[in-house]
């Protein structure tokens, strides 16, 4: 019986043959790619790949090797496709992306909408991004804000997309897919809740506490120390603060920001009542124009995939091959298709980068309904 060292020598010899054959195979794939560029053929031929996998599986002896050879050839064909996508991009076959690069958002002349009411965290995020003197107005809901952008009543909307403790704002992901609006910026602000009430109110006076359900949850440790208080959910924290002022009832208090308390003239009875002191929310800036700033560094997309084994795995390989750092992935159910999902992906890059163009070419061919949500 051969020693371990002798077996490793034999493996090295086989590997040398595999490497040489791999290079020969990729040369041929390059020629195939050139043919497809010249003749306008698509890179991804699903039926051809299915037939190829069945053919190579029929040439091996065991079930274990059948599975292994299919996985190996899936990778080989994936590498072939990526080479061919690169050739297509180099030949200009990607076409122009329907996004225009700009130097600035021209915020000084813009009209900006935010959801909620005066004192909302969205207003604070808007003022942080655009400045306190920006021309703004508020609407009731996220959908109303997206409609205001779509209809041209506003140039930009500032909307929450993700909280560091509560997670993704699911409704916003669905709206980004539904509307032809695009992300051009983002900002992150700390979420610091207070317990605020009418001036002169004491903690012993309070019987009811109002706030958004998520905010009540985020201050649960503090509120649990006062089991005698009834917790009542309203649309958002600013509306809770407004309610206290309008009803002038000293038995009521709001969990809201110090910003909202200041807007409505409330007294902060307890500051920083969050369970998590590092709580923050990421807000996106949205417009109805397909534009991106020249120094944009993040891209958001959404896409759908076939409901079959390995489909997400193969799609994500486009980020790996092009050295693109994926920073986030979320999934949302596709309406009317039980147990099928739309994926929302953030990754680092600029639409002008060659690696980004190459990845988008592959993603567009191998997924369904790819949509670029913005570069910011």
At 141, list the tokens: 């809901």
Tell me the backbone φ, ψ of residue 83, rounded to 5 degrees: -60, -45
Examine the pLDDT at 46 and tell me if it is beyond 90. Answer: no
Is the confidence at residue 215, as pLDDT, over 90?
yes
- Domain 17-93: CATH superfamily is Chorismate mutase (1.20.59.10)
Residue 112: Cβ-neighbour burial (10 angstroms; 0-12, 13-18, 19+): buried
pLDDT in tens, 291-339: 999 999 999 999 999 888 889 998 999 999 899 999 999 999 999 888 8
Q: Which residues contact 129 (CB under 8 A, 6 or more apart)?
A: 158, 185, 187, 283, 285
> For residue 88, what pLDDT is reported?
83
Per-residue confidence band for 95, with pLDDT thresholds at 50, 70 and 90: low
Q: Which residues contact 102 (CB under 8 A, 6 or more apart)?
A: 291, 292, 293, 294
Mean pLDDT of 86-111: 84
Q: How many other CB atoms sit within 10 Å of the CB of residue 15?
A: 10
81 contacts 30 by C-beta, under 8 angstroms:
no
Dihedral, CA of residue 353, residue 355, residue 358 and residue 362, to nearest 10: -130
> Is the pLDDT assigned to residue 168 strictly greater than 70?
yes
Mean pLDDT in residue range 122-128: 96
CA atoms of 265 and 138, how far apart (whole Å): 20
User: Does residue 344 have an active-site annotation?
Assistant: no
Domain 193-270 matching CATH 2.60.40.10: the answer reads: no
Question: Which of these is catalytic: 117, 201, 237, 281?
Answer: 281
Q: Quote the percentage of the chain above a pLDDT of 90.
A: 85
CATH number of 100-191+280-293: 3.40.190.10
Q: For the chain, where do the domains classified as CATH 3.30.70.260 start and end?
A: 296-376
Q: What is the pLDDT of residue 8?
A: 96
Range(s) within the chain of domains with CATH label 1.20.59.10: 17-93
Residues 276, 359 contacting (CB under 8 angstroms): no
Check residue 92 and give its pLDDT: 75
Judged against a pLDDT cut of 90, whether residue 42 lies above it is answered with: no
Over the chain, what HEC string results? CCCHHHHHHHHHHHHHHHHHHHHHHHHHHHHHHHHHHHHCCCCCCHHHHHHHHHHHHCCCCCHHHHHHHHHHHHHHHHHHHHHHHHHHHHCCCCCCCCCEEECCCCHHHCEEEEECCCCCHHHHHHHHHHCCCCEEEEECCHHHHHHHHHHCCCCEEEEEEEECCCEECHHHHHHHHHCCCEEEEEEEEECCEEEEECCCCCHHHCCEEEEEHHHHHHCHHHHHCCCCCEEEEECCHHHHHHHHHHHCCCCEEEEEEHHHHHHHCCEEEECCCCCCCCCEEEEEEEECCCEEECCCCEEEEEEECCCCCCHHHHHHHHHHHCCCCEEEEEEEECCCCCCCEEEEEEEECCCCCHHHHHHHHHHHHHCEEEEEEEEC
List every span in the chain annotated with CATH 3.40.190.10.
Answer: 100-191+280-293, 193-270
Among 353, 340, 233, smallest CA distance to 297 is for 353
| pLDDT in the model for residue 207 | 98
Structure token digits, residue 287:
């417009």
Assigned CATH topology for domain 296-376? Alpha-Beta Plaits (3.30.70)
Pick the closest to residue 241 from 222, 267, 218 (CA basis). 267
At 364, the pLDDT band (50, 70, 90 cuts) reads very high
281 is catalytic: yes
90 vs 206: CA distance, rounded Å: 68
What confidence score (pLDDT) does residue 107 get? 87
CA distance 156 to 138: 12
The overall average pLDDT reported for the chain is 94
Report the C-alpha gap between 369 and 332 in whole angstroms. 14
Mean pLDDT for the stretch of residues 43-58? 93
Selecting among 114, 130, 283, 344, the annotated active-site residue is: 283
**Contact (Cβ atoms closer than 8 angstroms) between residue 323 and residue 368:** no
Residue 37: what pLDDT?
87
- Is 200 a residue whose pLDDT tops 80? yes
Contact 357, 82 (CB under 8 A): no
Percentage of the chain beyond pLDDT 70 is 99
Exposed, middle or buried: residue 141 (CB in 10 Å: 0-12, 13-18, 19+)?
Answer: middle
How confident is residue 26, by pLDDT bands cut at 50, 70 and 90?
very high
315 close to 367: Cβ distance less than 8 angstroms: yes
Half-sphere exposure of 310 (CA within 13 A, CB side): 6
Mean pLDDT of 350-368: 92
């Amino acid at each position: 019986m051969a020693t371990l060292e002798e077996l490793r020598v034999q493996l090295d010899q086989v590997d040398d043959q595999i490497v040489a054959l791999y290079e020969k195979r990729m040369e041929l794939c390059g020629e195939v790619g050139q043919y497809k560029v010249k003749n306008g053929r698509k890179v991804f031929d699903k039926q051809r790949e299915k037939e190829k996998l069945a053919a190579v599986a029929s040439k091996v002896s065991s079930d274990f090797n059948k599975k292994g050879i299919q996985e190996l050839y899936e990778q080989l064909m994936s590498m072939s496709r990526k080479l061919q996508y690169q050739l297509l991009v180099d030949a200009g076959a990607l076409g122009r992306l329907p996004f225009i690069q700009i130097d600035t958002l021209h915020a000084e002349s813009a009209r900006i909408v935010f959801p909620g009411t005066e004192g909302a965290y969205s207003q604070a995020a808007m003022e942080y991004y655009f400045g306190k003197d920006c021309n703004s107005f508020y609407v009731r809901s996220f959908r109303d804000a997206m409609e205001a952008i779509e209809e041209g009543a506003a140039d930009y909307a500032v909307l929450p997309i993700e909280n560091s403790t509560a997670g993704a704002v699911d409704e916003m992901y669905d709206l980004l897919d539904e509307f032809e609006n695009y992300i051009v910026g983002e900002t992150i602000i700390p979420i610091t809740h207070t317990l605020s009430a009418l001036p002169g109110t004491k903690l012993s006076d309070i019987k009811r506490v109002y706030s958004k359900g998520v905010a009540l949850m985020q201050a649960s440790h503090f509120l649990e120390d006062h089991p005698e208080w009834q917790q009542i959910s309203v649309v958002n924290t600013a509306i809770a603060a407004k309610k206290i002022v309008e009803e002038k009832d000293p038995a009521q208090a709001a969990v809201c920001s110090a910003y909202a308390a200041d807007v409505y003239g409330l007294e902060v009875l307890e500051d920083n009542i969050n369970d998590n002191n590092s709580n923050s929310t990421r807000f996106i800036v949205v417009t109805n124009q397909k534009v991106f700033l020249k120094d944009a560094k993040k891209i958001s997309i959404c896409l759908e995939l076939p409901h079959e084994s390995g489909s997400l795995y193969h799609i994500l390989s486009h980020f790996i091959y092009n050295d693109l750092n994926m920073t986030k992935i979320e999934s949302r159910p596709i309406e009317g298709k039980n147990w099928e999902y739309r994926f929302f992906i953030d990754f680092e890059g600029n639409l002008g980068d060659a690696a980004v163009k190459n990845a988008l070419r592959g993603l567009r061919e191998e997924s369904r309904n790819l949509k670029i949500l913005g570069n910011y």
